[in-house]
Amino acid sequence: MRIAVIGGGIAGLATAAGIARAGAAVEVFERSSRGAAPGAGISLFPNSRAAMRTLGLLDGYDRRPHGPAPGTRTVMRRPNGKVALAFPAWARPKVRMFHRNDLREFLLDSCRGVPIHWDTAVALDDDGDTVRPAVLTTADGRQSAWDLVVAADGVRSATRGFLSLDPGLRYAGYTAWRGVTRGPADTGGMAGEDWGSRQRFGTVPLADGRVYWFAVASKQVGRTAAAEGLGSEKEAAEQEFASWYPAARALIAGTDAAEVLRHDLYDLARPLHVFHRGRVALAGDAAHAMTPDLGQGAGCGLEDAAALTSLLRGTAGPDADVGGLLERYSRRRAPKAARLLRASRLMGRLAQRERKAWRPGS
Ligand SMILES: Cc1cc2nc3c(=O)[nH]c(=O)nc-3n(C[C@H](O)[C@H](O)[C@H](O)COP(=O)(O)OP(=O)(O)OC[C@H]3O[C@@H](n4cnc5c(N)ncnc54)[C@H](O)[C@@H]3O)c2cc1C
């Protein structure tokens, strides 16, 4: 069976690595260049580890250095730094914290032998049926035919629209700044997410002592530092969190301005009930873009990759029933992803509430 994956993000690369191990001939098309993943971290929960096992990547995943260090306490602090909630320290923390580029390099290593076409945007031209293959076209008009296409083309997936499955996106009402400190930083042995009033701050220690932080604030959509007359998004984050506790401000201050990212947060307006049409499957954010409030977006994409891998194992021959396989994929994945999308939205609403008593300084 010949399989194309659109998108070389976490979901696309994991899918390619898994289904190559399941015996299919797979190629990846990525519109960006090889480069490096942006300077941010990512937390992966135990469901990601279970997915890695199904993908055949568990040994490498377990060997990969990650944060937090054993014994780190997970806490929730108030904006004044007072610990409001503390969880017992794990000898072996269940959540693994990576720099996004480390995770990407691991997935790229796992794709060794899989052709990855960088700088190659593709568009779906035909989703195929029981007799017709699916067809992709590159920007310069080259067409190729595939037994199966996995579209892992992200939150703004054009494929989702082509398949008439797009419910549109919903702005969540809040924006996130993210950064990784330029060198090791002291977190006092703590990690976690702090809630204020319509603001949150997260501290995520990485394997090499650097710290990934995120800072979330309720804002109108489309606001930028430049529009507010500020020199950089780092300055905007510093201004927004100016009255938070010193260790939070020190993490922002310890990050190079060019490395601070800002994104308004979106999810799918409604969860999808099916993830496929014809010979095309959606995976990752293309299928279930959710807000990051439960830290499950990438984990869910890894679960999609694992589901496709296990369905293809032993059935990746030229006569495979692709339609039946994708029916099973949708049934296996869509209900759980819908629950997580709704739960993330709910968590975001709760976390971003106005809490006068939790304003900085109170
Ligand atoms: C602030 C923030 C914090 C987050 N924190 C976490 C966390 O802690 N844990 C977690 O699990 N998740 C987290 N997430 C979610 C996670 O980042 C995403 O769910 C995940 O990265 C999505 O991966 P993906 O491969 O589906 O999509 P993407 O990473 O968006 O990859 C899609 C790829 O497709 C390519 N592409 C698009 N169109 C085409 C085309 N036509 N042709 C070729 N290539 C194309 C793009 O260039 C891109 O590389 C967070 C998200 C945000 C915004």
Q: What is the pLDDT of residues 201-230, one digit of tens each?
A: 999 999 999 999 999 999 999 999 999 999
Q: Could you identify the residue written with the tokens 């194309």?
A: 4
Distances (CA, A) of 56 to 13, 107, 112, 217: 13, 12, 13, 39
Predicted local distance difference test score (pLDDT) of residue 362: 59
- Sheet of 280-282: strands edge to edge? 116-117, 25-29, 2-6, 148-151, 280-282, 276-277
Predicted local distance difference test score (pLDDT) of residue 358: 74
Q: Pick the atom of ligand 1 nearest to 32's CA.
A: 47
Spatial distance between the Cα atoms of 142 and 303, rounded to a whole number of angstroms: 32
Predicted local distance difference test score (pLDDT) of residue 357: 74
- What spacing in Å lies between the alpha carbon of 351 and ligand 1's midpoint? 23
- 176 Cβ below 6 A of ligand 1: yes
Spatial distance between the Cα atoms of 309 and 303, rounded to a whole number of angstroms: 10
Nearest CA to ligand 1 atom 23: 10
- 122 Cβ below 6 A of ligand 1: yes
CATH of 170-266+351-358, one of 3.30.9.30, 3.40.1350.10, 1.10.3430.10, 3.20.20.120: 3.30.9.30
Predicted local distance difference test score (pLDDT) of residue 167: 98
In this predicted model, what pLDDT tens digit does every residue of 307-334 receive, in sequence order? 999 999 988 777 889 999 999 999 999 9
In this predicted model, what pLDDT tens digit does every residue of 231-276 receive, in sequence order? 999 999 999 999 999 999 999 999 999 999 999 999 999 999 999 9
Predicted local distance difference test score (pLDDT) of residue 35: 84
Q: Which CATH class is domain 2-66+96-167+270-347?
A: alpha beta
* 28, 29, 42, best to mutate for ligand 1 pocket (most atoms within 8 Å of CB): 42
Question: In a 10 Å sphere around its CB, with 0-12 CB exposed, 13-18 middle and 19+ buried, how is residue 261 labelled?
Answer: middle
- 79 Cβ below 6 A of ligand 1: no
Kindly indicate the confidence band of residue 361, based on its pLDDT and cuts at 50, 70 and 90: low
Residue extent(s) of CATH 3.50.50.60 domains in the chain = 2-66+96-167+270-347
What's the whole-number mean pLDDT along residues 135-161?
Answer: 97
Give the whole-number percent of the chain exceeding pLDDT 70.
Answer: 99
Residue extent(s) of CATH 3.30.9.30 domains in the chain = 170-266+351-358
State both tokens at 316: 């990746």
What's the whole-number mean pLDDT along residues 91-117?
Answer: 94
What's the whole-number mean pLDDT along residues 174-178?
Answer: 98
